[in-house]
Chain A
Amino acid sequence: MNRRHIISVLVENHFGVLARISSLIAGRGFNIDSLTVGETEDPTVSRMTIVTRGDEQIIEQITKQLNRLIDVIKVTDMTECAHVERELVLIKVAAPTAQTRTEVVQVVDVFRARVVDMSTATLTIEITGDSEKVDAFIEMIEPFGIKEMARTGSVAMGRERNGRASRGAETRVA
């Protein structure tokens, strides 16, 4: 069954690692929705979050191939555990009249998004949320005419309850 998976990859924070990962993904023909990179609480470690789709076998290959890279410290399939997911999107939407502006702002309010910039013809909106919320928002805003859009791609983190982390499927195979 083709499911959406959020794969979190902890890697050594040095030169060339991103190139290695993206070249592996391209070379093996894996499809990905998004890939983000950033530093973690430990400056020597970066976290990459890869959103991809595939059946069990494909996801298993992706995680195994990632684990095979020397610079990869840990691969976790977040989809296997309780987690929070967030993506930030900036959308510039056409709003040439007072009427459309009001309508857009209504949608913005319902989704708890924010207007961060405006001009006589456009509004720029910032929204954060998981992919479902973001997709639903985009669907609502689309009819007004999206002029530009920039998505960060998702990041995710396991939930914690009473000081105990909910663990994802760590795929360092034994």
Chain B
Amino acid sequence: MADSGTVKTADNRAFWRRDMEGKECTGAEILVECIIREGVDLMFGYPGGVVLKVFDELYARRDQIRVVLPRHEQAGVHAADGWAKVTGKVGTVFVTSGPGVTNAVTGIATAQMDSVPLVVFTGQVSRDLIGSDAFQETDAIGVTRPIVKHSYMIERPQDIARIVRQAYYIASTGRPGVVLVDVPKNVTFEKAVFEWPETVSIRSYKPTTEGHPKSIQRLADAIAESKRPYLYVGGGVVMANASDHLLELVNKTNIPVTTTLMALGAFPGTHPLFAGMPGMHGSKLANICFQECDLVIAVGARFDDRVTGKLSAFAPKAKIAHVDIDPSSIKKTVKVDYPVVGDAHWVLRELNKVVKPRQPNEWNRMFAEMKETHWFRYRPSTEVMRPQYVIEKIYEMTKGDAIISTEVGQIQMWAAQFYKFDKPRRWLTSGGLGTMGYGFPAAIGAQFAAPDAMVIDIAGDGSIQMNIQELTTVVENRLPVKVVILNNGYLGMVRQWQEFFYDRHYSSSVIGGLPDFAKVADAFGAKGLTARTHDDVVPVLEEGLAHPGPVFMDFHINPEENVFPMVPAGKALDEMQEEEWA
């Protein structure tokens, strides 16, 4: 694939221990060998009692597989998530039983909601103790059942190879997701003959990738008939590495494109036919296009309520086409006229072969006109520091070429609105679960995946405190991750809702006792910088981004900023509120 950002690792067959084949080996030896054979050269692991045998084997194999120690299991899973998003490969995590598992839960749910391929190995107490409330025993499979794609408990060492192969296969195919593998302690000590299954076949799991030619033809016909077609692109396009085919389709048909929060970068943010992100804090342009178009072509998107607004008023004049690899995602919330089940890469490639070229028409003229007035904007100021300005400057200084991760809150929306992504796999954000504390560890994973890239976490003063301990990880591993804190003294997104809908009762949204973040960074051995006024923004960014190591940049932004436009929950997409323009 020409899609960039993907890190290629060398085929690691040289690391395989062929001498193990056909021999009796311990479960721990087999497990680590299988993980290595899956092509894993880096994983995030946090040890504990029941997994010591495995970590001992990881020590023996340390030249072939690197184990990164996060400072909290949640952060370890987010880091693997960020790594997986940037590389397009399956991320790997190893945690211990009990608290190791429960700490990992938020990371697992976050990755699963955003269809990120991960295999999470969890230690478990020995088989004969399971069910006895033994020390550090948690029913990992039970706790995570609703938030994983699939899970396994390894019962015997001879099952390890098959299960590991299936786990990586399931995590990475179909609609990707998290597979949890629970490893009882006794299995890591017991012995079995090691045999490597060359192929994986699961009779009950055969994901459809090839879209049906007839349904693709029907979609092409619908496009030919449509006067006002509109492409609604979701994270599935990024995951399927289908951006090139999407661009080809648009160049051929001149259809305007909106990309969801998850899909930023799937289509060039600087393209004239880019409508911006849709939904609650989307551009007015993107939302109006939904309301005015006569055909919505959803590709790898799932009609999330944050995108559609009030469903009954969504795209009232349009027929709906929906391309998705997951059949259950089609017709889940909206009626679909043209369903296509298949991988976005496959379907778009085939669609390009049959779709008729379409010339710009009245709809395109309207679009170009609206783009002038209905784009994201804010009133510039030199009196106060506006967060939008900070993001714009970051965009300019990095020439749109950085990997941006985000925490959750107003900052996430400002980053999505004002940083323009021209390439996929450069944008890491928790869209489905909206997990505060995601961005910093995800940036760590991204920096491991792309050591030479500029990796920036856009953080809030609230969110950054949810995984701030990872400063140790970046310092220890000399990761030059940059953290931009847009410090408003509030849980700003909560405050904004309280301002609009709860009579300005700022209940629990004022963050008291904020530390001096620059000093915090300094204490950990990273660089800390503070920008207190508008005029500080550029010099702080210049110094911070140029620094070769990890940096915290604390920007004291205008405290009561709001995110606009805003479609209040439950309202239709055209009932959006905009910033007052004095």
Q: Could you tell me which A residues sit within 8 Å of B by CB distance? A: 11-12, 15-16, 19-20, 23-24, 27, 57, 60-61, 64-65, 67-68, 70-73, 173-174
Interchain CB contact under 8 A, B327 and A173: yes
CA distance A128 to B156 in the complex (A): 42
* Contacting residues, chain A, for B330 (C-beta < 8 A): 64
Interchain CB contact under 8 A, B326 and A15: no
Task: Give the contacting residue for A16; candidates B141, B326, B331; CB below 8 A.
Answer: B141
Interchain CB contact under 8 A, B141 and A68: no
| B204: Cβ under 8 A from any A Cβ | yes
Beta-carbon contacts of B139-182 to A below 8 Å, as 1s and 0s? 00110011001110100000000000000001000000000000
Task: Give the contacting residue for A173; candidates B146, B170, B341; CB below 8 A.
Answer: B341
| B1: Cβ under 8 A from any A Cβ | no
| B14: Cβ under 8 A from any A Cβ | no
* Contacting residues, chain B, for A12 (C-beta < 8 A): 204
B120 to chain A, nearest CB (A): 16
* Contacting residues, chain B, for A15 (C-beta < 8 A): 153
Nearest neighbor of B151 in chain A, beta-carbon distance: A16
Beta-carbon contacts of B328-344 to A below 8 Å, as 1s and 0s? 10111000000001000
Interchain CB contact under 8 A, A72 and B332: no
Task: Give the contacting residue for A11; candidates B146, B204, B208; CB below 8 A.
Answer: B204
| B212: Cβ under 8 A from any A Cβ | yes
Interchain CB contact under 8 A, A72 and B204: yes
- Most interface-central of A16, A57, A60, A68 (chain B CB within 10 A): A68
Interchain CB contact under 8 A, B331 and A70: no
| B135: Cβ under 8 A from any A Cβ | no
| B581: Cβ under 8 A from any A Cβ | no
CA distance A60 to B341 in the complex (A): 15
CA distance A159 to B150 in the complex (A): 34
| B205: Cβ under 8 A from any A Cβ | yes
| B203: Cβ under 8 A from any A Cβ | yes
Interchain CB contact under 8 A, B204 and A23: no
Task: Give the contacting residue for B145; candidates A20, A71, A173, A174; CB below 8 A.
Answer: A20
Interchain CB contact under 8 A, B145 and A70: no
* Contacting residues, chain B, for A16 (C-beta < 8 A): 141, 151, 153
CA distance A11 to B149 in the complex (A): 16
Q: With contacts A19-B142, A27-B146, A173-B341 known, is A73 near B328, CB below 8 A?
A: no
Interchain CB contact under 8 A, B204 and A61: no
B244 to chain A, nearest CB (A): 26
Interchain CB contact under 8 A, B145 and A67: no
Task: Give the contacting residue for A70; candidates B142, B146, B150, B327; CB below 8 A.
Answer: B150
* Contacting residues, chain B, for A64 (C-beta < 8 A): 327-328, 330
Q: With contacts A11-B204, A65-B328 known, is A70 near B341, CB below 8 A?
A: no
Q: A19-B145, A23-B145 are in contact. List 5 more A-B contacts (CB 8 A).
A: A16-B151, A19-B142, A64-B328, A73-B204, A174-B208
Task: Give the contacting residue for B204; candidates A24, A70, A174; CB below 8 A.
Answer: A70
Interface residues in B193-207 by Cβ distance below 8 A to A read: 202-205
Interchain CB contact under 8 A, B204 and A71: yes
Q: With contacts A60-B331, A173-B327, A174-B212 known, is A73 near B146, CB below 8 A?
A: no
Q: Could you tell me which B residues sit within 8 Å of A by CB distance? A: 141-142, 145-146, 149-151, 153, 170, 202-205, 208, 212, 326-328, 330-332, 341
* Contacting residues, chain A, for B341 (C-beta < 8 A): 173-174
CA distance A11 to B205 in the complex (A): 11
* Contacting residues, chain A, for B331 (C-beta < 8 A): 57, 60-61
A-B contact pairs, 26 of them (CB 8 A): A11-B204, A12-B204, A19-B142, A20-B145, A23-B146, A24-B146, A27-B146, A57-B331, A61-B328, A61-B331, A64-B327, A65-B328, A67-B328, A68-B326, A68-B327, A70-B149, A70-B150, A70-B202, A72-B204, A73-B203, A73-B204, A173-B208, A173-B327, A173-B341, A174-B208, A174-B212
B17 to chain A, nearest CB (A): 29
Nearest neighbor of B170 in chain A, beta-carbon distance: A70
* Contacting residues, chain A, for B332 (C-beta < 8 A): 61
* Contacting residues, chain B, for A174 (C-beta < 8 A): 208, 212, 341
* Contacting residues, chain B, for A173 (C-beta < 8 A): 208, 327, 341
CA distance A71 to B204 in the complex (A): 6
CA distance A24 to B208 in the complex (A): 22
CA distance A72 to B207 in the complex (A): 12
A74 to chain B, nearest CB (A): 8
CA distance A20 to B212 in the complex (A): 30
List the 10 closest pairs (A to B, CB-CB), nearest first: A64-B328, A173-B327, A73-B204, A70-B150, A27-B146, A70-B205, A68-B328, A64-B327, A65-B328, A23-B145
B78 to chain A, nearest CB (A): 24
A113 to chain B, nearest CB (A): 39
A159 to chain B, nearest CB (A): 26
* Contacting residues, chain A, for B326 (C-beta < 8 A): 68
A54 to chain B, nearest CB (A): 14
B582 to chain A, nearest CB (A): 47
* Contacting residues, chain B, for A24 (C-beta < 8 A): 146
* Contacting residues, chain A, for B149 (C-beta < 8 A): 70
B481 to chain A, nearest CB (A): 36
Interchain CB contact under 8 A, A67 and B327: yes
A26 to chain B, nearest CB (A): 9
* Contacting residues, chain B, for A72 (C-beta < 8 A): 204
A29 to chain B, nearest CB (A): 12
* Contacting residues, chain B, for A73 (C-beta < 8 A): 203-204
A78 to chain B, nearest CB (A): 19
CA distance A27 to B149 in the complex (A): 14
* Contacting residues, chain B, for A23 (C-beta < 8 A): 145-146
* Contacting residues, chain B, for A20 (C-beta < 8 A): 145
* Contacting residues, chain B, for A11 (C-beta < 8 A): 204
A43 to chain B, nearest CB (A): 15
A157 to chain B, nearest CB (A): 21
CA distance A65 to B146 in the complex (A): 12
* Contacting residues, chain A, for B151 (C-beta < 8 A): 16
* Contacting residues, chain A, for B202 (C-beta < 8 A): 70
* Contacting residues, chain A, for B204 (C-beta < 8 A): 11-12, 70-73
CA distance A75 to B338 in the complex (A): 23
CA distance A72 to B149 in the complex (A): 13
Nearest neighbor of B332 in chain A, beta-carbon distance: A61
A77 to chain B, nearest CB (A): 15
